[in-house]
Amino acid sequence: MRLSLSLLLALFALGQVNAARPAKRAYSSHDYYVFEYVPRGGASLDEVARSLGVEVVERAGELQNHWLVRTLKPPPHSIYARDTSLDQVTHALQQVRAKASSSHHSREEVQLSRRVANSVGYLEYQQLRKREKRAPPPTPGPNALGLETASAVAQRMKILDPEFPHQWHLVNDDYPQSMMNVTGVWDMGITGHGVITALVDDGLDYRSDDLAANFYAEGSHDYNDHTDLPTPVLFDDHHGTRCAGQIAAVKNDVCGVGIAYDSKVAGIRILSGPISDIDEAAALNYGYQNSSIYSCSWGPPDNGRAMEGPRYLIKKAMVNGIQKGRGGKGSVFVFASGNGGRNGDQCNFDGYTNSIFSVTVGALDYKGLHPEYSEACAANMVVAYSSGSGNHIITTDIGKNKCSTTHGGTSAAAPNAAGVIALGLSARPDLSWRDVQHICVRTAVHINPDDPDWEKTASGRPFSYKYGYGAIDAYQFVTAAQNWELVRPQVWVDLPVVQLNGGTMDLFQSTTGGVPIVPGGVTSTIDVTQEGLNGRNFEKLEHITIQVWITHTRRGDVEVELVSPNGIKSILAAKRYQDSDNTGFPGWVFMTVKHWDENPVGTWTIRVSDQNKPEESGTFLGWTMTLWGSAADTSKDIPVYDVPVIDGTLPPLIPPNSSPTTTLDLPIGTATKQHPKPTEHLGGDHGVAEGEATKVAFPGNEDIASTPAPTPSTSAKPVSTPTADEGWFSELSNLMSTQIWVFAALGAVAIFGIAAGIFFWRRRVRRRQNYSSLPTDTVPMSTVSGRPRTRELYDAFGEVSDDDDADEQTGLRSGMHQQSEGLTYHSGFLEDDPSTAGGLTPAARYKDEPDSPDHEHAAAPRDRPHSPEGSGSNNSGDGSWDHASDAR
Ligand X SMILES: *[C@@H]1O[C@H](CO)[C@@H](O)[C@H](O)[C@H]1NC(C)=O
Which parts of this chain interact with ligand X (CB under 6 A)?
18, 181, 184, 218-219, 287, 289-290, 445, 473, 475-476
The three-state secondary structure class of 280 is: helix
Short-list 292, 360, 329, CA closest to 487: 329
Backbone torsions φ then ψ of 624, nearest 5 degrees:
-160, 165
The three-state secondary structure class of 299 is: strand
- DSSP-derived secondary structure letter, 42: S
| Rounded distance between C-alpha atoms, residue 143 and residue 391, angstroms | 7
Of residues 218 and 692, the one with the C-beta less far from ligand X: 218
Short-list 158, 119, 111, 161, CA closest to 35: 119
| Rounded distance between C-alpha atoms, residue 232 and residue 445, angstroms | 36
Of residues 325 and 683, the one with the C-beta less far from ligand X: 325
Of residues 471 and 495, the one with the C-beta less far from ligand X: 471
Q: How far is the CB of 179 from ligand X (least distance, A)?
A: 8
Look up 411 and say whether it is catalytic: yes
472-505 CB burial, b ≥16 within 10 A, e <16: bbbbbbbbbbeebeebbebbbbbbbbbbbbbbbb
* The 3-state secondary structure of 618-675, one letter per residue: EEEEEEEEEEEEEECCCCCCCCCCCCCCCCCCECCCCCCCCCCCCCCCCCCCCCCCEC
Q: How far is the CB of 472 from ligand X (least distance, A)?
A: 10
Backbone torsions φ then ψ of 698, nearest 5 degrees:
-125, 75
Residue closest to ligand X, measured at CB? 184
The three-state secondary structure class of 268 is: strand
Of residues 196 and 793, the one with the C-beta less far from ligand X: 196
Q: How far is the CB of 582 from ligand X (least distance, A)?
A: 46
Of residues 327 and 753, the one with the C-beta less far from ligand X: 327
| Rounded distance between C-alpha atoms, residue 761 and residue 767, angstroms | 10
| Cβ(328)–Cβ(429) below 8 Å | no
| Rounded distance between C-alpha atoms, residue 270 and residue 273, angstroms | 7
Q: How far is the CB of 802 from ligand X (least distance, A)?
A: 47
Side chain identity, residue 814: S
- DSSP-derived secondary structure letter, 257: -
| Cβ(480)–Cβ(430) below 8 Å | no
Q: Given the residues 239, 552, 817, 826, select the one marked as catalytic.
A: 239
| Rounded distance between C-alpha atoms, residue 694 and residue 181, angstroms | 24
Please give the C-alpha separations between residue 140 and each of 137, 371, 392, 405, 679, in angstroms, as whole numbers.
Answer: 9, 19, 12, 11, 14
Of residues 290 and 706, the one with the C-beta less far from ligand X: 290
In terms of DSSP bridges, do strands 196-201 and 264-269 run parallel, antiparallel, or are they unpaired?
Answer: parallel
Q: How far is the CB of 382 from ligand X (least distance, A)?
A: 13
Would the CA dihedral through 656, 660, 663, 666 be positive or negative?
A: negative
| Cβ(563)–Cβ(569) below 8 Å | yes
Of residues 218 and 225, the one with the C-beta less far from ligand X: 218
Q: How far is the CB of 282 from ligand X (least distance, A)?
A: 13
| Cβ(536)–Cβ(489) below 8 Å | no
Q: How far is the CB of 474 from ligand X (least distance, A)?
A: 8
Q: Where are the beta strands (DSSP E) in 759-881?
A: none
Beta bridge partners of 524: 606
Short-list 862, 836, 629, 860, CA closest to 727: 862
Q: How far is the CB of 64 from ligand X (least distance, A)?
A: 16
Question: Crossing angle for the helix pair 88-100 and 107-119, nearest 10 degrees?
Answer: 130
Of residues 21 and 888, the one with the C-beta less far from ligand X: 21
Of residues 62 and 350, the one with the C-beta less far from ligand X: 62
- DSSP-derived secondary structure letter, 773: G
| Rounded distance between C-alpha atoms, residue 497 and residue 864, angstroms | 6
- DSSP-derived secondary structure letter, 709: P
Backbone torsions φ then ψ of 504, nearest 5 degrees:
-140, 155
Q: How far is the CB of 173 from ligand X (least distance, A)?
A: 15
How many CA atoms are closer than 13 Å to the CA of 652, on its beta-carbon side?
33
Question: Crossing angle for the helix pair 474-482 and 433-443, nearest 10 degrees?
Answer: 120
- DSSP-derived secondary structure letter, 496: P
Q: How far is the CB of 476 from ligand X (least distance, A)?
A: 5
Of residues 18 and 778, the one with the C-beta less far from ligand X: 18
| Rounded distance between C-alpha atoms, residue 887 and residue 604, angstroms | 11
**First-last CA distance in the chain:** 64
Look up 201 and say whether it is catalytic: yes
Please calculate the CA angle 517-522-526 and round it to the nearest 5 degrees: 140
Q: How far is the CB of 383 from ligand X (least distance, A)?
A: 13
Q: Given the residues 31, 87, 201, 802, select the one marked as catalytic.
A: 201
Q: How far is the CB of 16 from ligand X (least distance, A)?
A: 10
| Cβ(552)–Cβ(517) below 8 Å | yes
Of residues 265 and 732, the one with the C-beta less far from ligand X: 265
Of residues 287 and 424, the one with the C-beta less far from ligand X: 287
Short-list 325, 317, 296, CA closest to 198: 296
Q: How far is the CB of 286 from ligand X (least distance, A)?
A: 9
| Rounded distance between C-alpha atoms, residue 437 and residue 435, angstroms | 5
Look up 706 and say whether it is catalytic: no
Q: Given the residues 411, 426, 658, 659, select the one marked as catalytic.
A: 411
Of residues 23 and 837, the one with the C-beta less far from ligand X: 23
Catalytically active residues are 201, 239, 411
